[in-house]
Amino acid sequence: MLPRNRVLVAAAAAAVLMSSACGSGAGSTTGTASIEGPSGEPVVGGTGHIIESAEPRSLDPAVIANSYANSPLLGNALYGTLMINDPQTNAIEFTMAEDFSSADGGKTFTLRLRDGLQFSDGTPYDAAAVKNAWQHVQDPATASPDRPQAALIEASEVVDPRTLKVTLTEPVPNYANAVLQTSLNWIASPETLGADKAQIDANPIGAGPYTLEQWSRQDVIKLTRNENYYDAPRPYLDKIEIRAITDADQRYNTLVSGGADLALEGVWTNIDKAKSGGLQNAVVPLGGGLAMVLNNTKAPFDDVRARTAVAAALDLDGINNAIFQGTGEIPTTLFDESSPFYKDIPLAEQNLVESQKLLDELASEGKPLEFTLSVFPGNKDFGEAVQTQLSTLHNIKVDVRTIDLAEYGKIMSQKDYDVITSTVMFADPEPRLWFGFNSESSGNYSGVKDTQLDAALDKGRVSTDEAERISAYEEVQNRLVELNPVIFYTRASPGVIANPDVGGVQQYGIGSVLPETLWIQE
């Protein structure tokens, strides 16, 4: 078991704490990142054996994070989706919703549902159910990682059984992204959400393509086709069995040995092996990535010179080689080149002379740089690599602290760290960039506070003009490079790998895989 292979999974799982129309018809890949797969018409029947990286703590949709490093396929299977996007273009397409639009620049939205939707128990999937589900995510007692996005909903009104009017706390024209990238996309029946945790886990009622047959904790989740699913002839598979395997080597070996058909994959080394091994593979292109988050609210990193010194000291290629065997993608710019917001504005580059100059300057003022880097058990190798690199400089001392993932939320909310590994990743910059870096955001874990950065983030958030948004996010990029509140060290890899006989592999959002389109060639 190689601990370094858990680095991306552990950090990406933490991402959920930091905040990314499929009509009927055979084998359509419209609207999502997809793998070409086997030729021919989809085969109906059979059982798909799926690997996800984490077992859910509950089947309550509000706590199943809709991100590749968690259990998104399970959430999609049980509860279906209101909408999806094409990760290449971020174009929104509707599934169980027919429309989600604003006529006033994003202050209010009208959600329109398809006609005739039903939960798997035959009860109506209506506007009242959506309102109830979104209020459930808002409820602090639910402890949903997506509460910050849900909290933007100030009020909601059921206009008629198919129509919900939503008023936000402020204009957010791109709020559809917040819905589809989170558990707001998954609607459980009001009866389910009114039950206690044990009842939810035993009998979750949604309107997705599958229903729960059995959940053996730490073993397998068995799902069976929902015969009332709205999008016949989907789903194609009769059954799905999901296992959680956290270890990257075991996950890959299980797939290639025939123990599984498909795996949601967040480790660059496995994706690289899949490419060379002839397996199907795809990765959703995202901006940002895995990062060292520097606590800007207290010494030593309330001084931009300390942040810049560390950023200029690191050899990211060396870290990539040591931790990811050279397979990781190092972010040289904030946005991926495929993004309309991409600008060739380089992120921090190694400059040992400049780094040492700043360290000496701090030391001359009686402030030699000393800090603790907090890491998960699975990415201790990363912490040691950083520690080794920085030890070659003078007037700097780094300790490495190992923390449990269970402690992460408390540590982040209390800012009980100097530097911690986490993520800021996004397709469209809204909503995740605002949540990650605006000084008014509860998700601004670096604590950066800069009036120019805030103004640019606010402008990018509320504008409906693409040229204005591009200009605003160019300013965001410039300010982040100037301020260095975080240090991005590798892109996230929201990927999927599959055996050659698996068809209909499609992703949306932050690497979320759709189960209803999957089929297996006989």
The CA distance from 81 to 208, in Å, is: 7
CA distances from 384 to 40, 73, 115, 323, 387 (A): 50, 34, 56, 10, 5
- Map residue 467 onto helix, strand or coil: helix
- Domains defined along the chain, listed by start: 3-284+494-520 (3.40.190.10), 287-490 (3.10.105.10)
The CA distance from 8 to 2, in Å, is: 13
Exposure class string for 459-469: b at 16+ Cβ within 10 A, else e: bbbbbeeeeeb
pLDDT at 412: 86
Other beta carbons within 10 angstroms of residue 37's beta carbon come to 23
The CA distance from 335 to 433, in Å, is: 11
**Strands across the sheet with 47-52, in order?**
210-216, 220-225, 239-244, 47-52, 262-265, 495-498, 280-283
Q: Measured between alpha carbons, how far apart are the two ends of the chain, in Å?
A: 34
Tens of each residue's pLDDT in the chain, 522 residues: 333 344 444 444 444 444 332 333 333 333 345 578 899 999 999 999 999 988 999 999 999 999 998 999 999 999 999 999 998 888 999 999 999 999 999 999 999 999 999 999 999 999 999 999 999 999 999 999 999 999 999 999 999 999 999 999 999 999 999 999 999 999 999 999 999 999 999 999 999 999 999 998 999 999 999 999 999 999 999 999 999 998 999 999 999 999 999 999 999 999 999 999 999 999 999 999 999 999 999 999 999 999 999 999 999 999 999 988 999 999 999 999 989 999 999 998 999 999 999 999 999 999 999 999 999 887 889 999 999 999 999 999 999 999 987 788 789 888 999 999 998 999 899 889 999 999 999 889 999 999 999 999 999 999 999 999 999 999 999 999 999 999 999 999 999 999 999 999 999 999 999 999 999 998
Using H for helix, E for strand and C for coil, what is the string for 89-125? CCCEEECCEEEEECCCCCCEEEEEECCCCECCCCCEC
The CA distance from 448 to 307, in Å, is: 11
Helix axes 380-390, 304-313, angle to 10 degrees: 100
Pinpoint the alpha helices (H) of 338-450.
352-364, 380-390, 408-413, 432-437
pTM of the predicted model as reported, rounded to 2 decimal places: 0.89
pLDDT at 187: 99
The CA distance from 494 to 52, in Å, is: 12
477 Cβ partners below 8 Å, 6+ apart? Answer: 333, 334, 335, 343, 345
CB 68 within 8 A of CB 54: no
Q: Among all chains, which residue has been given the structure tokens 């008014």?
A: 440
pLDDT at 431: 87
Please tell me whether the peptide bond between 124 and the residue prior to it is cis, using omega within 30 degrees of 0. Answer: no
CA 301, 303, 308, 313: dihedral to nearest 10 degrees? -60
pLDDT at 5: 43
Backbone φ and ψ of 275, nearest 5°: -60, -50
Residues pairing with 288 in the sheet: 425
Exposure class string for 130-151: b at 16+ Cβ within 10 A, else e: bbbbbebbbeeebebbbbbbbe
pLDDT at 8: 42
